[in-house]
Structure 1
Amino acid sequence: MSSAAPVPVSAALSAPVPVPEAADAALLSAVTRAVEDAGATLRDRWTRHARGVSLAEVVGALQANDDAVLAVLREPLLQARPGSRWAEDELAGGALPPGEWWVVDPAEGNINHVHGMADWAVTATLVRDNRPELTVVHLPLTGDTYTATAGGGARRNGRPLTVSARTDLAAALTGTGQAKPGEDARTLRRIGDSVTAMLLNGLVVRVSVPATLQLVHVAAGSTDAFWQFSDVRSGLVAGALLVSEAGGTVTDLAGAPWTAASRDFLAAAPGVHAAARAVLAPLA
């Protein structure tokens, strides 16, 4: 286990030549418009009742949502950053090849959307040489938009975000969840064991999907920590940048700075990160 002090994602991933501030602001504005427009498409597809009965029908509804959003989101993002590429598989993990990539979830929390629940969003993150550089997360039903740029802070609707000042894990609200359907049996057991361990050491544990919507709460200081035994990058890159830029600590469960190649994930307020990692690390 590493004994090095955890390093926030934005500090650990600060090697690329920075984009000039004006260009960065223009890019963020263009991405925000594209994501919010895509969010309107997803909002128009939402109903208060569940859609689909059989597994095939549910999967079909999920795919239809993805297709509808990507039809209006993909090209604006690629045009906003000429030369960038698209990470096609939203459930993939691991490091990307060098260069700039859009890591997008057209319907983050798609399963909630299809079941008539409200916890879903559209996310887009520009990853440069495996470092998240810019992200936009839009929640169409509330109208909230979360943004962050590496070194530029995190915001909700333009107002700065700051993680919780909590220092006692026993008073902490924490969360975890399943990263994708079909997780292997060992991962599912680790999730269950980790929930039990955190219930014994924390105050309350939320187990829900999607990851990004738990992570925006960590960035906003409403939740104190989130962990996941998975490397599904589309569910983590946006939240990792938001939490880090809001002053949180983002590592793997060994305490090393988190990257897209990490096999597990912990984002927390600095005051409870070490205690949370001590609870979870034996399960890694």
Structure 2
Amino acid sequence: MSLPEQLRDLAVATAREAGRMLVDKRPVTGPEVVQTKSSPTDVVTQMDRAAEALIIERIRAVRPGDAFLGEEGGVQEGGDATGDGAVRWVIDPIDGTVNYLYDLPDWAVSIAAEVDGVTVAGAIDMPRRGETYTAVRGGGALLHTAAGTRELRVNAEVPLERALVATGFGYFTERRAHQAQVLTHVLPAVRDIRRGGSCCVDLCSLAAGRVDAYYERGVQAWDVAAGALIVQEAGGRVEGLDGAPVSPELAIAAGPGVFAALHDLLAPLDPAHD
């Protein structure tokens, strides 16, 4: 078994364990908000922290020299985190924390593994949906459910006017106001918009053909690391503006038939675009 496959299997087992814990130990009255980050609506619960701690503990028990980048814990260097073959894990313990807080089903545990800065494996577990999405670079993307496993493919040839587009909104008031303005330009040009509240879920929905495209401003590395690989291995494109890497400035993901049209629709609306 190759190293990326080993990393994928460890990511899958760990994400599923964390997902089960988050379901089983979610307080009946709802998780406690223990911190706010960028705004009062950008919350961290005690379960976010517990899940990230569990994930790091399980991975370190198998691979003690690896590094970590976690949404809650930040950067944690590993003993073998430099040089050829260095592995870093990029973790979002609950993507869709507000959904989890309100007991809505669309949230996920996301774990990606990088080797020398390149994402080579990823797993996203959605315990309330009973779905696990996995990918290995160059090896395709899969959806695992109780009914079996199937290969993922994006919807390849969809014109923009018939595209179902997922998006999300940030937590800063000014960013939300700008995103609302962008939406007024996008909505008339596409089939419809979906806003589910989790970047991971949106990217997996794209890979599974449940939506045709996705865009969002304000995503972080842990939001997209595993999901971007899953989309790419399902035949999609994931980029920022003008071929730049995905960044908090913008993430665009779509099948090849609609990507360019969506990019060209969004580009003039970006405040930093010439």
Bin of the TM-score, shorter chain as denominator length:
0.7 to 0.9
Out of 153, 166, 171, the position equivalent to 2:162 is 171
Alpha-carbon distance in 1 for matches of 2:33, 2:194: 27
Q: Does 1:22 align with 2:2?
A: yes
Superposed displacement of residue 242, structure 1: 0.7
Superposed displacement of residue 216, structure 1: 0.3
Letter in 1 for 2:59: L
Cα shift readout 1:98-157 (whole Å, capped 9, x = no counterpart): 643211111111111111211111111112343221111001122211001111111101
Report the equivalent of 1:276.
Answer: 262
Out of 27, 40, 50, the position equivalent to 1:68 is 50
Alpha-carbon distance in 2 for matches of 1:198, 1:60: 25
* Alpha carbons 1:252, 1:265 under 8 Å: kept: yes
- Identity percentage of aligned residues: 30
Classify 1:171/1:51 alpha carbon distance in 2 versus 1 (closer, same or farther; 3 Å).
same
Classify 1:78/1:263 alpha carbon distance in 2 versus 1 (closer, same or farther; 3 Å).
farther
Alpha-carbon distance in 1 for matches of 2:255, 2:2: 30
Letter in 2 for 1:279: L
Alpha-carbon distance in 1 for matches of 2:129, 2:71: 27
> What does residue range 109-188 of structure 1 map to in structure 2 within 5 Å?
109-157=96-144, 158-179=149-170, 181=171, 183=172, 185=174, 187-188=175-176
Alpha-carbon distance in 2 for matches of 1:221, 1:50: 32
Out of 104, 111, 117, the position equivalent to 2:91 is 104
Alpha-carbon distance in 1 for matches of 2:203, 2:89: 19
Alignment partner of 1:116: what SS? coil
Alpha-carbon distance in 2 for matches of 1:246, 1:224: 12
Out of 237, 240, 244, the position equivalent to 2:232 is 244
Q: Does 1:266 align with 2:252?
A: yes
Report the equivalent of 1:10.
Answer: none
Q: Give the unaligned 5+ runs of structure 1.
A: 1-20
Superposed displacement of residue 159, structure 1: 1.9
* Alpha carbons 1:61, 1:114 under 8 Å: kept: no
Letter in 1 for 2:45: Q
Letter in 1 for 2:150: R
Report the equivalent of 1:6.
Answer: none
Of residues 59-68 and 214-223 in structure 1, the stretch that sits farther from structure 2 once superposed is: 59-68
Alpha-carbon distance in 1 for matches of 2:173, 2:116: 29
> What does residue range 193-212 of structure 1 map to in structure 2 within 5 Å?
193-212=181-200
Alpha-carbon distance in 2 for matches of 1:233, 1:184: 22
Report the equivalent of 1:87.
Answer: 69
Alignment partner of 1:87: what SS? strand
Alpha-carbon distance in 2 for matches of 1:225, 1:63: 30
Report the equivalent of 1:218.
Answer: 206
Q: TM-score, normalised by structure 1?
A: 0.80
* Alpha carbons 2:88, 2:115 under 8 Å: kept: yes
Classify 1:167/1:48 alpha carbon distance in 2 versus 1 (closer, same or farther; 3 Å).
farther
Classify 1:276/1:100 alpha carbon distance in 2 versus 1 (closer, same or farther; 3 Å).
same
* Alpha carbons 2:158, 2:212 under 8 Å: kept: no
* Alpha carbons 1:137, 1:146 under 8 Å: kept: yes
Alpha-carbon distance in 1 for matches of 2:204, 2:94: 16
Classify 1:188/1:61 alpha carbon distance in 2 versus 1 (closer, same or farther; 3 Å).
closer
Report the equivalent of 1:17.
Answer: none
Alignment partner of 1:26: what SS? helix
Report the equivalent of 1:3.
Answer: none
The alignment covers a number of residue pairs equal to 255
Cα shift readout 1:215-244 (whole Å, capped 9, x = no counterpart): 100011111111111241111112111110
Q: Does 1:235 align with 2:215?
A: no
Alpha-carbon distance in 2 for matches of 1:144, 1:116: 17
